Amino acid sequence: MVRNLSFSYSKMGMYKECPQKYKFRYVHMLPEQPKYYFAFGTALHEVMEYIYNPENPAFPSLPEALAFFDNHWNKTSFEQKGYASVEKELAGYAEGRRIIEAYYAKNAESFFHPLSVEMKSTLDIDGLSLISILDRIDYLGGGKVKILDYKTGKTVQREPDQLYMYQKVVENSPAIKSLVQQKDPGVKELRVEQLSFYHLPTLHEMTFERAPDKEIFDFWQGVLNVADNIRAGKFDPTPGENQCRWCDYRNICPVFTGKEYNGPTGYAARGASFPPAATPDPQPKTVQDELSDKIDRCGALLDEAKQLQKEIIALMREQNFERHFGKNYKAELSRIEKLEFTDKNKVVELLRTLNLLSKTLVPTYSTVAGLLTDASVPEEAKARLQAFTVKAQDVKLNLEKTQ
C-alpha cells in the first residue's frame, strides 16, 4: 500500500519558494535555525489559545493572561528563540505584553467560546495526509463556520492559498463536522462562510467570503501537482535574491557550492541535470525590500554618527577642550554620573526573579536607576540590584548648530 504524502500549507509554501530548500528541510531533514518571529508568533498563539479554550468555563483575567505569557516566554533563552541579543528579546517581550494588553482593552468585553482553538487536523485526501493547525473556528449556526487565523508579523495581506487550504480542509474534515454536530445535531453539511486574518499587533481583522468552488478546484489541482513533483523527486533549485538571502541552507546549496549535497556524509559532483551555478536572478524590489534598505541605510548612518561622536570626545579630551567649533556646529562636553552593570545578563535574570522585568520593559541603566529610587521596590531587591551596578563618570557630547 502506498503511504500518503505528509503535507501542509507551509510545506507547499516552501516547495513553491524553492524545491531545493524543501529537499534540505524535508528529505534530508535538516532543521532550520530558530527564527525569532516564529517564537514571538507561537507565544501569542499560546495566549490566544489560553484565553479562548472552550474547556475553561471562565475567561482568564488580563493579569492571568500576562502571567501565562511570561511563563511561556521565560521557558527558553534568547538564543533558543532566535533573537540576536538579550536586548532584542526584551523588546519582543515588551511588544508581546503590549499586544495582550491592547487585545484585552478591545475584546475582553466580548470574549466568547469558539467551536475550537488551535485544532490540529489531519485529513487523508487524494493520497495526501494534510496537516493543518486551525487557530480558531467559530460556529455561526446552521452548519456554517468562520475560520480565524492570527497573524503576528509586521504586515498582513490576503494569502489566497492559505484561505483555500483552510476551506478545503474544514469542509472535508469528519472531525470538525462531528464537533459541529455535537453542538447542532441536525447539521448534515458543513460550510465555511467566512475566513479571517486577525493581525494581533494592530488588532485589525481582514475578513474574506468563502471562495467559489471553481477557485478551490483549481487550487487543489495545483496542490496535487506539487505533491506529484515531490513524489517524482523534482527538487531543482529556483534561486532568487529574496529567498536565498534568508535561506539557512545557502552554504550547502548546489547553486552556491557547485556541488550537490548528498547528506551528512558529503557532497557528490554536481550532476549534469542541474542548471549551471549562477548568481541568483535579481528580483524586482518589493515595498518590504525598499523599507529594509532604508532601515539598513539609516542604521549605517547612525552607526557612523556614533563612531564620529566617540572620536570627537576622544580628541577633545586629549586636547583638554571643553568646547570646540566647526564651521556650522559647536561641540561641548559635559560630565555625567552613570550606572554601569557589572554583568548585564545577571541583572536581567535578577529582574526576572524579583518580578521586576515588567517594570523596566528593557533594563537600561536609566530604568534600573529608576528602580533604585522607586518607593514601591522593596529595599532588599534594591540591595541585590545594587550589587550588580557601579557608579561611573561619563562624558556627554552636545552638538549645537551655530548658523
Give the SS3 label for residue 207. Answer: strand
Size of the site for ligand SF4 (CB under 6 A): 12
Cell digits of residue 178: 462531528
- Of the two residues 130 and 253, which places its CB atom closer to ligand SF4 in the complex? 253
Residue among 356, 111, 126, 107 nearest 223 (CA): 126
**Least distance CB 242 / ligand SF4 (angstroms):** 9
Give the SS3 label for residue 209. Answer: strand
- Of the two residues 207 and 283, which places its CB atom closer to ligand SF4 in the complex? 283
Give CA–CA dist 84/70, Å, rounded. Answer: 20
Residue among 101, 112, 194, 92 nearest 152 (CA): 92
Q: Is 21 in the site for ligand SF4 (CB under 6 A)?
A: yes
Give CA–CA dist 145/190, Å, rounded. Answer: 8
Give CA–CA dist 305/196, Å, rounded. Answer: 45
DSSP assignment string, 350-377? HHHHTT-HHHHSS--HHHHHHHHT-TTS
**Least distance CB 377 / ligand SF4 (angstroms):** 49
Q: Is 51 in the site for ligand SF4 (CB under 6 A)?
A: no
Span from 100-108, 248-256, 292-300, 320-328 in contact with ligand SF4 (CB under 6 A) = 248-256
- Of the two residues 20 and 116, which places its CB atom closer to ligand SF4 in the complex? 20
Span from 218-226, 239-247, 371-379, 386-394 in contact with ligand SF4 (CB under 6 A) = 239-247
Q: Is 237 in the site for ligand SF4 (CB under 6 A)?
A: yes
Cell digits of residue 289: 525590500
- Of the two residues 35 and 338, which places its CB atom closer to ligand SF4 in the complex? 35
**Least distance CB 48 / ligand SF4 (angstroms):** 31
Q: Is 255 in the site for ligand SF4 (CB under 6 A)?
A: yes
**Least distance CB 223 / ligand SF4 (angstroms):** 21
Q: Is 199 in the site for ligand SF4 (CB under 6 A)?
A: no
Q: Is 253 in the site for ligand SF4 (CB under 6 A)?
A: yes
Q: Is 344 in the site for ligand SF4 (CB under 6 A)?
A: no
**Least distance CB 15 / ligand SF4 (angstroms):** 11
Q: Is 14 in the site for ligand SF4 (CB under 6 A)?
A: no
Q: Do the beta carbons of residue 106 and residue 84 sit within 8 Å?
A: no
Q: Is 357 in the site for ligand SF4 (CB under 6 A)?
A: no
- DSSP label at 199? E
Q: Using CB under 6 A, which of 166, 239, 357, 371 touches ligand SF4?
A: 239
Residue among 396, 394, 390, 399 nearest 372 (CA): 390
Give CA–CA dist 100/69, Å, rounded. Answer: 9
Q: Using CB under 6 A, which of 199, 250, 338, 384 touches ligand SF4?
A: 250
Q: Using CB under 6 A, which of 247, 316, 368, 385 touches ligand SF4?
A: 247
Q: Using CB under 6 A, which of 18, 145, 163, 348 touches ligand SF4?
A: 18
DSSP assignment string, 239-301? --HHHHHT-TTGGG-HHHHSEEE-STT-EEEPPTTSPPP-PPPPPPPPHHHHHHHHHHHHHHH
Which positions touch ligand SF4 (CB under 6 A)?
A: 18, 20-21, 237, 239, 243-244, 247, 249-250, 253, 255
